[in-house]
Amino acid sequence: MSYVEIGADAPLNHAAIDRYVSAEMARQRVPGLALGIFKDGAAILAKGYGLSNVELGTPMTADSVLQSGSMGKSFLAVAIMMLVEEGRLHLDDSLADYLPAGGANWRPIKIGNLLSHTSGLSSFDTPELQRPGGLFDIRQDFSEDELVERIASLPIDFQGGEGWAYENTNFVLLGALIRRITGQSYGEFFHERIFKPLGMSSTRIISDLDIVPNRSAGYEMVGGTLRNQAWVSPTFNSTADGAMYFTIRDLERWDRALYGESLISQKSIRQMWTPYPVAGISSAEGYGLGWRIAFVSGHRVIGHNGAWQGFATSFARYVDSGLTVVALTNLDSGHSSPEVIVRAVAGLVDPRLQPPPLRPIHDERAEFSASAWRNFQALIRGIPTAGMEAVVSTETVEDLKASLPDNWYEGTPALVERIAEDEGLLSTYRIGRSGDTRLLDVRSNEAGEVTGFSIEADPDNR
């Protein structure tokens, strides 16, 4: 593929972008994708690919409405910083000053800890807690006060500011905090203070009841078969951890606003985009206030990914280049990787932003790798070795089969990464032919026994 430098007069290579996006969507089996490329706050590409609704055959466009997932956390961070600038709260205020339900447990937790995921609050959205009859049964409705009270009953995992753990719990409470301070729901506050002033006419909080023009359908891949997203109660479609609708065109307006001071000052924006100290130590990469901070090929990237109810999203702002790339898909995050697409597209626009390729590394556990590969092949071919049935369900095997490239079995898998996890190792291998490869993740326990397989998109298919 050819590359183009971005600049005032540089033409965008639409054909190269179209070829890559269409090919990667096919590899990931994504029904539809909306793509936005913005330069200095103005769209140089806003386009849909594939289908917004599979059942109706509706094309995806730049005006299609998709769910935000956790990309919505960045909007909430801006809303909180508005209140900070107005003197209506401070980042060092205690959570207990606004939400007394947590009592003494919440006294050490600061508002800044919630925004940065350093609060120590535990997860409210685990499968166990959200199962039928669970404390946060995802099929039941709860009032905001009931959610806060139930969250207050959860354990604290660590002292505020002494660790980092990404938890949706933090932003659910921030949404409740906005109502306590302003008397408005966070959605009403967003509409009045962000959406309406910026002209984001399609952006809103999720509603299954309202008529939403150009609403996309969300999909899940289960056992290799595409299905409609699972139903959840209206409560869990309206919490402040990322329950929003928006379009690529509205996100252009959002991106443009971040260059100015129509919402908050540039000082506050810089504060949001600075890694929040953990136990007094800050790092070059990490999480700020509602925004992720990273470096790709030496270039600073500010953004957020999201996933919810059959949608996956990625927003990446290459701040030193004035380039923003956004990808919104209508497939669950277990099968759709818009972040991979965003990074590759950024590299097509400007080759300086292309992530370095994943190179094969020396395998110090070659015997384990060979054994894991034999077990994986046996699973896919329907003749699993002893014990593998307990590791991978029949439904998962069908899903793995559907995710594999053609001729996946050819050659020897190449180890490209191995990292230590809490309960063992994660070994990642590249499989398939050049240009149509996938990443095979193999998890193993401390005893060296395989505990799971999964297939991921390969960012080097570009």
Q: Tens place of pLDDT for every residue, the chain, 462 residues?
A: 333 334 434 578 999 999 999 999 999 999 999 999 999 999 999 999 999 999 999 999 999 999 999 999 999 999 999 999 999 999 999 999 999 999 999 999 999 999 999 999 999 999 999 999 999 999 999 999 999 999 999 999 999 999 999 999 999 999 999 999 999 999 999 999 999 999 999 999 999 999 999 999 999 999 999 999 999 999 999 999 999 999 999 999 999 999 999 999 999 999 999 999 998 777 767 999 999 999 998 999 999 999 999 999 999 999 999 999 999 999 999 999 999 999 999 999 999 999 899 999 999 999 999 999 999 999 999 887 777 777 788 899 999 999 999 999 999 999 999 999 888 999 999 999 999 999 999 999 999 999 999 999 999 998
* Alpha carbons 169 and 239: distance in angstroms, whole number: 10
Amino acid at site 43: A
User: Which two tokens mark 324?
Assistant: 């923003």
Nearest residue to 250 via CA among 212, 217, 288: 212
Note the pLDDT tens digit of each residue in 248-298. Answer: 999 999 999 999 999 999 999 999 999 999 987 777 679 999 999 999 989
Sequential DSSP letters for 324-370: EEEEEESB-TTT--HHHHHHHHHHHH-GGGPPPP------TTHHHHH
DSSP annotation of 263 reads: S
Q: Are 48 and 234 in contact (CB under 8 A)?
A: no
DSSP 251: H
Dist. CA 315–CA 36, nearest whole Å: 9
**Residue labelled with tokens 């769910």:** 67
pLDDT of residue 55: 97
379: left (phi over 0), alpha (psi -120 to 50) or beta: alpha
pLDDT of residue 280: 79
pLDDT over 90 percentage in the chain: 89
pTM: 0.93
CA distance 452 to 202: 41
Tokens 């380039």 locate to 323
| Residue 154 DSSP symbol | S
Query: What sections of 274-322 are H helices per DSSP?
Result: none
**41 in helix, strand or coil?**
coil
Alpha-carbon span 75 to 95, nearest angstrom = 20
Beta bridge partners of 43: 38
Distances (CA, A) of 283 to 68, 161, 236, 276, 278: 28, 14, 33, 8, 9
> The tokens of 283 are what?
């790092």
For residue 32, which phi and psi values (nearest 5 degrees)?
-150, 155
User: Contact 94/108 with Cβ under 8 angstroms?
Assistant: yes
Alpha helices (runs of H) in 183-276, residue ranges in sequence order? 186-190, 196-198, 248-257, 266-272
